[in-house]
């Protein structure tokens, strides 16, 4: 058992914001003007980190323009997630559904506490967990969209805009929704890829329901222009690289393994998932070099001369976690059976990659207790994010210089225009 799990040293976050992301960000306000439902996808493993703060302002303005800036009333639904209140006669549909995709990669015991913690803090958002390989999840989401469309009987159709960070599964989800909402055989309408940045333009309208008529648009995944300063920005970048939300080539793979080792230890400090791929009898570790040596030896990965090929083992480990290890780590129990070592030291536990708290043998593991812990984590994350934004932490030094240069150019242009006007009037 690991009683102490030190936070790893992480590299500074890279900047990855291609031109197509910038173009879509500028188009978003106009797109929202003809949108009825915003379907925002996030990754269940990173439910906070995969929030795109750059989209928040445009969405808030859209809701305010529709007269929906106040809290949305939610009522219990027998199908799972809360249902939006039915708008009054003649009102415009304006709903925001946050879909936490790939929920089979997080422990089941934290799903409902997280939903409750989010709903109490963001009542204007409908939170729905889904996995595209779970037909029941897609059917529930499809039925939810149909119910929302039927609340405005005078509308000819309803338009859904799908947004989110790169590689959270937007195109895959829309293909799945289309197969449920359209009768008969439906061919795959949108191309998908395991690499971020595959969708570069707004898709054409895609019909996902015939009665009532519901259309959707797939959008490019939009990364944050700057991931943040200090430890928060460094951690955010590594997290996104691990779920392939940012180009993995921008990172040294050993840095990804180092952080992944840390998180798997937090999820289960007694029997972390990576023990499945180490030699029999191996013990939990926080030493990334020792871990990679063990792994390369177990896999028989050696270079010419017989030395261990640890870079190759590191790449293998990240891919193993994405395909198989994530499912194993999702089986971590809420209550760990602590070995009788006589130690009373508390443990660090977590859920996904965004939640972490201290626990011991006396800590309750009820749904209410977990909800409280998650609520504290959410409040702290939002507080830090708002503080960083207030202090300019959302803008890099390069972006600050560019913005300053643009402001100077604009002032020069205005000054020249004023002089020219004065000459003409003289």
For residues 172 and 293, membership in a common domain is answered with no
User: 């790169």: which residue's tokens?
Assistant: 166
Q: Which residue has the higher pLDDT, 4 or 48?
A: 48
Containing structural domain, residue 37: 20-218
For residues 381 and 319, membership in a common domain is answered with yes
Q: Which residue has the higher pLDDT, 76 or 371?
A: 371
Residues 395-414: tens digit of each pLDDT: 445 545 555 555 677 777 78
Residue of 411, 424, 378, 304 lying closest to 127 (CA atoms): 378
Q: Which pLDDT band holds residue 347 (cuts at 50, 70, 90)? A: confident
Residue 355 located in a structural domain: yes
Looking at 218, 238, 259, the residue that finishes a domain is 218
Residue 203 located in a structural domain: yes
Residues 303-326: tens digit of each pLDDT: 988 999 999 999 999 999 999 999
Query: What CATH number is attached to the domain comprising 205?
Result: 3.40.50.300
- Residue pair 133/161 in contact by the 8 Å Cβ criterion: no
For residues 262 and 207, membership in a common domain is answered with no
Average pLDDT over residues 370-385: 93
Q: How many domains does the chain have?
A: 2
Residue 366 located in a structural domain: yes
Average pLDDT over residues 198-220: 75
- Residue pair 286/6 in contact by the 8 Å Cβ criterion: yes
Cα–Cα distance for residue pair 214/93, rounded to 1 Å? 12
Residue 32 located in a structural domain: yes
Given this model, what pLDDT does residue 419 score? 79
What is the maximum span of the chain, computed from C-alpha positions, in angstroms?
93
Question: Which residues make beta-bridge pairs with 128?
Answer: 99
Look at residue 233 and give its three-state secondary structure: helix
- φ and ψ at 192, to 5 degrees? -125, 160
Residue 111 located in a structural domain: yes
DSSP characters for 131-190? -TT-HHHHHHHHHHHHHHHHT-TT-S-EEEEEEESTTSSHHHHHHHHHHHHSSS-----S
Residue 339 located in a structural domain: no
For residues 276 and 167, membership in a common domain is answered with no
Sign for the CA dihedral angle at 136, 141, 146, 152 comes to positive
Share of the chain above pLDDT 70, in %: 81
Question: Which residues make beta-bridge pairs with 349?
Answer: 357
Residue 413 located in a structural domain: no
- Residue pair 382/389 in contact by the 8 Å Cβ criterion: no
Residues 72-128: tens digit of each pLDDT: 433 334 344 434 433 333 347 899 999 999 999 999 999 999 999 999 999 999 999
Q: Find all residues with CB under 8 Å of 337, minimum gap 6, and list them.
A: 270
Residue 166 located in a structural domain: yes
For residues 321 and 174, membership in a common domain is answered with no
For residues 386 and 302, membership in a common domain is answered with yes
For residues 323 and 186, membership in a common domain is answered with no
Instruction: Report whether the peptide linkage leading into residue 212 is cis, meaning its omega lies within 30 degrees of zero.
Output: yes
For residues 129 and 53, membership in a common domain is answered with yes
For residues 203 and 280, membership in a common domain is answered with no
For residues 264 and 175, membership in a common domain is answered with no
For residues 214 and 271, membership in a common domain is answered with no
For residues 200 and 235, membership in a common domain is answered with no
């Amino acid at each position: 058992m690991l009683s102490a799990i030190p936070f790893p040293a992480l590299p500074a976050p890279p900047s990855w914001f291609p031109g197509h992301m910038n173009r879509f960000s500028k188009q978003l306000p106009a797109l929202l003007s003809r949108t009825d439902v915003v379907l925002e996808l996030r990754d269940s493993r990173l439910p906070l980190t995969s929030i795109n703060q750059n989209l928040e302002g445009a969405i808030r303005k859209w809701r305010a323009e529709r007269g929906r800036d106040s809290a949305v009333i939610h009522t219990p639904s027998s199908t799972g997630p809360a249902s939006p209140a039915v708008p009054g006669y003649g009102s415009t549909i304006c709903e925001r559904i946050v879909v936490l995709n790939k929920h089979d990669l997080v422990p089941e015991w934290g799903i409902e506490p997280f939903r409750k913690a989010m709903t109490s803090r963001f009542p204007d958002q409908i939170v729905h967990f889904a996995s595209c390989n779970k037909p029941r999840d897609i059917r529930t989401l499809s039925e939810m969209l149909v119910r929302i469309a039927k609340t405005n009987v005078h509308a000819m159709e309803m338009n859904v805009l799908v947004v989110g960070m790169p590689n959270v599964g937007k195109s895959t989800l829309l293909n799945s929704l289309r197969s449920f909402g359209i009768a008969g055989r439906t061919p795959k309408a949108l191309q998908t890829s395991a690499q971020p940045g595959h969708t570069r333009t707004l898709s054409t309208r895609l019909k996902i329901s015939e009665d009532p008529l519901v259309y959707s648009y797939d959008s490019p995944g939009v990364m944050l222009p700057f991931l943040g300063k200090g430890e928060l920005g460094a951690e955010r970048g590594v997290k996104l690289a691990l779920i392939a939300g940012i180009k993995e080539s921008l990172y040294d793979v050993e840095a990804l393994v180092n952080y992944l080792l840390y998180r798997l230890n937090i999820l289960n400090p007694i029997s972390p998932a990576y023990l499945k791929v180490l030699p029999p009898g191996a013990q939990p570790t926080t030493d990334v070099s020792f871990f990679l040596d063990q792994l390369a030896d177990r896999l028989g990965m050696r270079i010419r001369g017989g030395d261990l090929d640890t870079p190759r083992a590191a790449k293998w480990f990240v891919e193993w976690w994405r395909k198989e290890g994530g499912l194993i780590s999702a089986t971590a129990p809420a209550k760990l059976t602590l070995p009788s070592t006589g130690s009373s030291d508390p443990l660090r536990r977590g859920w996904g990659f965004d939640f972490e708290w201290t626990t011991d043998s006396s800590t309750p593991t009820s749904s209410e207790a977990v909800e409280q812990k998650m609520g504290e984590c959410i409040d702290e994350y939002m507080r830090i994010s708002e503080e960083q934004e207030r202090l300019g932490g959302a803008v890099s030094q390069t972006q600050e210089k560019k913005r300053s240069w643009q402001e100077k150019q604009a002032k020069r242009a205005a000054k020249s225009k004023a002089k020219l006007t004065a000459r003409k009037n003289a």
